[in-house]
Each structure stands twice: as C-alpha cells, then as structure tokens.
Structure 1
Amino acid sequence: MPSHLPRRSLIRGLTAATAVAALATTLAACGGDSDAATTDSVASGEVVIGQVSNGAARPVTLKVPEVKSISAELPASIRKSGRLVIGEGALPSGFPPLAYVGSDQKTLTGSEPDLGRLVAAVLGLKPELRNFTWENLFVGIDSGKVDVALSNVTDTEERKRKYEFASYRQDNLAFEVPKKSTWNFDGTYENLAGKTVSVGSGTNQERILLEWKAKLAKEGKKLTVKYYPDRNGTYLALASGRIDAYFGPNPGIAYHITQVANTPNATRNAGEFSGAGEHLQGLIAATAKKDSGLAKPVADAVNYLIKHGQYATWLKAYHLSNEAVATSEVNPPGLPLDNS
C-alpha cells in the first residue's frame, strides 16, 4: 500500500527499495486476481513459520493443536466449512516482512500470513490465503469472500462502524541509525534537537516529525527534516552521514536491518514511538465484518498462542518482538474519529 495513505498500513512502500524490486517478478506471478487463493498443506497440528521467506525470518516448525473450547466459539457456517479464509492486501508489490510472495514464487509468506496459519490451527480450520489490493481487501470482507483480514490493519474508531477487531501487534514507528551511532531516541521530542532526520513525504510519521520540529522551533532549537525520492536515497544518505536517522514504520526497519546486518552499512533500531502518537498505543488487529462473531474466537486463539509461547516465537522469527502485546483484545480503543 502506498505509504502516504492515512493509517491503513503505515509500512507499505516504506521497506527497502531493493527488496521490493527483487520481489517484483515473483509478485507478478500472483497477478491481480483477488479470488486467487492458496490452501496450505501441512501436517495436522503443525505450522511452519518463515517458510520460503527469503531471509526475512528464521524458519521454525511449531506444534499448534486445535483448542476445542475456542473452535466451539466459531460461527456455525465457518465450522461447517472447515476453512478460514484469510485476506491479505499485499498486491501488487508486497510489503516484507509482513506479507509478500515467497521465494517459491507462489506461497504467500510473511508475518501476517503466518499468524493467520497459527490462528487457523488453534481453531481447527484449514487456512486459505487470498491476496488482494488494499482497497479490494475490504471489499472482500464486505462481500463475504474473506472471513478475516490479517494485513497490518490499524484499529480505528472509524473502522469500528463496519468491522470488529482482535488486536495482535503494536503499531509502532522507529528510528533507524547506523550501527556505530551512539544516539538513541528516548521517547521525547527534545531528544531530536540538533538532529537531521529523513522521513517519507505524506506519511503519518512525517506528520509526527513536523509537529516535533515546530515544538523545537518554539524553544529556539532546530530539527532538520530531509526527504529523498526513494528508500535507496535515504539509506545512502544514512551511510554517508548526511542524515542522523531515518524515521519510518518499525516492521520495514526491522526487515532492512536484517538485510544489511553483514555489510559495511549495517544499521540498528534506535527507539520506537507509537504510530497513534504520544497518548495512545496504536494497535494492529485482525479485521472481520461487524457482528460476524469472529473477533472473539480469533482473540482467544491469539491469547492461547501468547500463553503457550508460539506467539513469541512467531514475532522473534520476524524480528518484531518489540511489537508484542500482552493480550489480544476484542475492539480495544482505536485511533479516535478525528485522527483515523
């Protein structure tokens, strides 16, 4: 999804440009047909995390039994079908490490599809992954082609008018700096005085950064904000010292850090900030049609995974442990209507 769109999935288009280019050919194989679906064939009670993820995750096989008390909560029609149709809004270019076509050029992989597989296993259902454009993902939910979307959807009060949510990950932004840098973001805008920071134009993180810049200016302090036409330009500027940090979505930064870890231009995460701002922790949530009866069993499935360790293993595999939630909630407070 284009990164300038408001609070849909604040990572898309903000991952390393080289990674997107490398995936272009594979994603072309997926095409634009939103009805194209893949059903996993795995051993009963097993889920492979990071399969064909092309280095985005460390592959690991997890035991995940059906939990009858949770699957009993499912709507009768879904129990009868024996499958959970999981929607991803990853067309056309994907957004590693969250969702994209894997190295086998056919499997939808990434942290979001893998969580869908874990949840389906707890519910005793066969996961069926369907890939859409971002806009058509919600059309799929509305039309009943999709049971639940796990696609980096931010929980907002506006969306609650049509959908119900089960939270599963924090919605965070982060600062990326050269590995040798000694600077860390301490959570306050004052910490940025005297720094030069790159950000994507038209993004949520630009809005936050410009607010901080204005506050510092009132205090007689300077924050320089720089823009580059693509992520390659940003990372060249970071490596050459022309900027001190890049401010962007945490998952994309986590992915880029893994890609450059063994190069002269290695980087690190220098601190996170909620995508919802200073006063609310933004949340990413599984999204289903309002009153579908799916939010509670999905939340209970995620909480089972949290309690028994598979959730932590899933996040760790994708280097997203810093976005863990303590519990999955049904319809938790979301971005307010004036900021959705």
Structure 2
Amino acid sequence: MPPITARLLALAVLPAVVLPALAACSDPGASAAGASPSASAARNGVVYNTSPEQNRIRAQKDAAAAAAVPAAISKDGKLTVATTAGSIPLSFHATDDKTPIGVEVDIAQLVADKLGLALDVQVTSWENWPLKTQSGDFEAVFSNVGINKDRVKLFDFSSYRAAYMGFEAKKTSNYNIKGADDISGLKVSVGSGTNQEKILLAWNKELEAKGKAPATLQYYSSDADTILALSSGRTDLNIAPYPSVSYRENTRNDLKVVGKVNAGWPSETLVAATTLKGNGLAPAITDALNSAIKDGSYGKVLDRWGLYEEAVPEAKTVTEANFATYQTGKTP
C-alpha cells in the first residue's frame, strides 16, 4: 500500500449534486452488530482497537486556525462535538459500552488539538443532532454527515472524507451489485429515512419502469437484528456506509462486500463536520483539517481505521452561499 500522502495527491475533490433530505445522508445505519474486539490484524491488515484506551493520534495547535475560532465558542476552552456512536469504525462505543471511539472521534480530536481546545464528545441519536446543533448544545457534529441542499440552509460544513455506501451479503453468494438491475427481486435490508433507502427507492422505480420486479426493502428495529437476518438468509443484501460493511468483511467469516455506490447517487457527496450556519466556526475547522492533512496526522487516523480509500487531499468550507459552486464540480 503506498503512503497515504501519495494517495492523497492522486485524488481530486470536486463534488457534484447530492440528495436532498435533511436527515437522509448519511446515517450510519447498520453498524456494530456482530463486532468483537480485535487483538490481531484483520484481513485488511488493520488492528482495530475497540478498547477505551485509544492512545489517539494527536496534533499540535495551529495558531492561525485557533485564532479563527469565534470567541463565543472558544471562551470555555472546549469544542463540544456530537456523534451518534452507532457504527464501527465510524463512531461507536468501546468495549466498556460507554466510551465513544472511532475515526469520527479521532478526526474531531485532531480538529480540537489544532484549534487549541479540549474535545468534549457528546453521544446523541441521528434524529437529534440537527435540533441540538441549532439550539447550541453542540458546536460541531462529526458523525458521517453528508452535505446536501437542505442542510446548507441550516448548517455550514467542513468536508473531510469521501462518502460511499456498500452492499454486503453472505460470503457464499454470487451477487455483484452495480445498479438497479442487480437488486431486482431481492430482499434488501436498509435503514429507514437514510440516504441508502433513497437510493434503493430510486432503483426500484427504475426496475418498475422496465417491467422488472423491484427489490423488497426490509427494516429491522436494531443493527443486531439486521445483521442476524442477513447472516441467516432472511435477507439477501444489506446496504450501509461502506466503512461499516468493509469492517465486517474484514473481521467476520460469513459476510462480504458485493457492491459500492456513492452516498450521493446519482451524483457525489462528501462527509463533513457540521456547524451552525453563520456562526463562523466552519472556516476554522476547515483550516484545522487542512493543517492535519498537511502534517500527516489526518492520514494516520484514516490508516488506523482502514479508511485510506476515503481520504481527501483538501478540506473545503461549504455554505449556502457557495453550495451552487460546490454542486458544479466534477466527481473524483
């Protein structure tokens, strides 16, 4: 595997149109079900540390980025960050069932370090982060949130990771999911109100227009039930954020990834730190992210969680004012 700095130079981050629903992109969906602590390297070579003792990669303060933090946010010396803690390796609870860990938390730590602030992580539900960010309970959200045209009306963004969804199936299956035709007649589990659900609904419309059998979408009350249904054969496929399905492929013996699609299908999107619109924090976070990209700490975090394929070479601030420009870019 080439060094991540070399890989970053080969990427271009010029995203296009994203899906509209405020709460649809990109809820982690199926997540930590079936996971277990890893004391040795998984099949992708990553040793996943799921203990509370993380020994996180840290970064030095960036004076310029720190100076850009609004006084109303920096005055208490903390950066209060929300995460949903529901999806390995994005954000999830450690083996003590209380400590939030994962790549999202690690990147938030880098940002806090660069801004000279202490990281205060607050776990919330996917449904609650928008309201609590608007109310001021959270200063930033690091939880696999995608940028879309509805969210920019309420929030500002600092992009930091590519966004993909993955299809997973039993290891004995022969599925190869590339588009609507490949899910015809299959039973597919999906999270309600998620971006991946919107992709499947759009694909079902395509199938119906062609006179083909649509997929049957199946919903479960918990992630554990979702993966149990898949592994037992009650569903044919599950669609969830690619980091999660990739993690399961590399740490279990019964599941594998059988397809990958951009989370903004039919366009492109990026994962971004989310802040209250107009409060001035997003540019400071963008500066902090770019400082971490430049000094290599960002790349080390992604490598630590096996997410080097989702690295971006540059963080960008996206607001309602520049969203139209953001939409017109070509895809990576």
1:212 to 197, 203, 208: 203
2:27 to 10, 15, 18: 10
Deviation per CA, 1:197-236: give whole Å up to 9, x if none.
5232644323322432442454455564353646556545
Partner in structure 2 of residue 53 of structure 1: 50
Structure 1 letter corresponding to 2:62: V
SS at match of 1:84: strand
Partner in structure 2 of residue 73 of structure 1: 68
Structure 2 letter corresponding to 1:86: V
SS at match of 1:169: strand
Partner in structure 1 of residue 260 of structure 2: 272
Q: Is the 8 A contact 1:52 1:109 kept in 2?
A: no
Partner in structure 1 of residue 6 of structure 2: none
Q: Is the 8 A contact 2:33 2:227 kept in 1?
A: no
1:331 paired to 2:321: no
Partner in structure 2 of residue 149 of structure 1: 141
Distance 1:66 1:239, change over 3 A: same
SS at match of 1:62: coil
For 1:205 and 1:324, the matched residues in 2 are separated by 21
Deviation per CA, 1:104-162: give whole Å up to 9, x if none.
34422122222111111111221122233445433433333322221222222222222
Structure 2 letter corresponding to 1:167: S
Counterpart mapping for 1:211-290 below 5 A: 211-219=202-210, 221-222=212-213, 224-225=215-216, 227=218, 229=220, 235=227, 238-239=230-231, 245-260=237-252, 263=253, 265=254, 267-279=255-267, 281-290=268-277
1:86 to 81, 88, 93: 81
1:64 paired to 2:51: no
Deviation per CA, 1:89-114: give whole Å up to 9, x if none.
44xxx343333332234422122222
For 1:7 and 1:116, the matched residues in 2 are separated by 22
Structure 1 letter corresponding to 2:266: E
Structure 2 letter corresponding to 1:268: K
Partner in structure 2 of residue 36 of structure 1: none
- Aligned-CA RMSD value: 3.6
For 1:277 and 1:131, the matched residues in 2 are separated by 28
> Which shifted more, 282-291 or 101-110?
101-110
1:200 to 190, 193, 200: 190
SS at match of 2:216: strand
Deviation per CA, 1:231-275: give whole Å up to 9, x if none.
556545655667654322223323333441xx3x1x332332122
For 1:155 and 1:258, the matched residues in 2 are separated by 28
Partner in structure 1 of residue 108 of structure 2: 116
Partner in structure 2 of residue 127 of structure 1: 119
TM-score by length of 2: 0.72
Percent identity of paired positions between Structure 1 and Structure 2: 30
For 1:245 and 1:134, the matched residues in 2 are separated by 23
Q: Is the 8 A contact 2:169 2:256 kept in 1?
A: yes
For 1:108 and 1:242, the matched residues in 2 are separated by 31
TM-score by length of 1: 0.71
Partner in structure 1 of residue 18 of structure 2: none
Residue 299 of structure 1 and its aligned partner are, at CA, apart by 0.9
- For structure 1, the 5+ residue unaligned runs are 24-49
Larger relative contact order (CA 8 Å, sep ≥ 6): 2
Residue 16 of structure 1 and its aligned partner are, at CA, apart by 4.7
Q: Is the 8 A contact 2:144 2:271 kept in 1?
A: yes
For 1:233 and 1:134, the matched residues in 2 are separated by 19
> Which shifted more, 123-132 or 174-183?
174-183
For 1:291 and 1:232, the matched residues in 2 are separated by 39
- For structure 2, the 5+ residue unaligned runs are 1-20, 38-46, 328-332
Deviation per CA, 1:274-320: give whole Å up to 9, x if none.
222212x1222211122211101101111222233222222232233
For 1:125 and 1:232, the matched residues in 2 are separated by 36
